[in-house]
Structure 1
């Protein structure tokens, strides 16, 4: 399938290994994993960063290669249970941060037409995602604007 804002096709990435059980060497209890996930979320990390930290650092020195296999729940489900999830979905937050960086770059470099187009594409993606999340993760009357994004992310 082609990419959203170009006519090119993306190259396929690697697949996760097929596994039904957590590895035998990673025998950390689910409660300890959930406590570490909540602790990392309270430090301000996104779910993707939490997963990488659990993979690299682990819990009490033991790496956790896959949170879902170890606990039976997705990382975002654990965060929702403990009310530690953010006010915005991670993908929308990342796009808003990118749009803010691009807008600041455009103010400093008004002749950069390539990044002007990138800003337009990013804001278009934000509006589509806002339509998707409106009512569930966002308020019904939420409308994207640069000022609203800056205010939400502060």
Structure 2
């Protein structure tokens, strides 16, 4: 996939191996996995981090290589069922954090033109992503600005 604000063409990523069922060595109960997913979400982890923690730490010492294979549901689906899904989608939240950090940097270093451009690009990405999520996962009247971003990150 190519990068949006970079002339390079990007690189192809690797694919997960094709599998229809979880491995034999990973025989953890579906309910235990779902409980662990909700527990990690309550600790403040986003869905991507939950998947990494389940892969590395697992449930009761047994690693979970793929939550969807083990439970038949994605991590986000499990969170929605248990009303533990985050307020903001993780990709939008990460971009907002990046924009806030860039804005703070620009206040300290007003002559940093390269980061000024990076801030403009990041805020443009946020606006496009907010248009995509508006109505479904964001309020209809959501508009991005620095003050709103700071408030969202404090919650």
Return the TM-score normalized by structure 2.
0.97
SS of 1:132's equivalent?
helix
Q: Tell me if 1:20 matches 2:20.
A: yes
Distance 1:64 1:2 in 2: 31
- Structure 2's unaligned 5+ residue stretches are none
Offset at residue 34 of structure 1 (A): 0.1
Alpha-carbon displacement from aligned partner over 1:21-51 (angstroms, at most 9, x marks no partner): 1000000000000000000000000000000
Distance 1:86 1:2 in 2: 28
Q: Which residue of 1 aligns with 2:106?
A: 106
RMSD: 0.8
Q: Which residue of 2 aligns with 1:151?
A: 151
More divergent stretch after superposition (137-146 vs 2-11): 2-11
Q: Which residue of 2 aligns with 1:122?
A: 122
Q: Tell me if 1:96 matches 2:77.
A: no
Kept in 1, the 8 Å contact 2:100–2:149? The answer is: yes
Q: Which residue of 1 aligns with 2:36?
A: 36
More divergent stretch after superposition (40-49 vs 9-18): 9-18
- Structure 1's unaligned 5+ residue stretches are none
Offset at residue 7 of structure 1 (A): 2.4
Alpha-carbon displacement from aligned partner over 1:44-96 (angstroms, at most 9, x marks no partner): 00000000000000000000000000000000000000000011111100100
Matches within 5 A, 1:56-67: 56-67=56-67
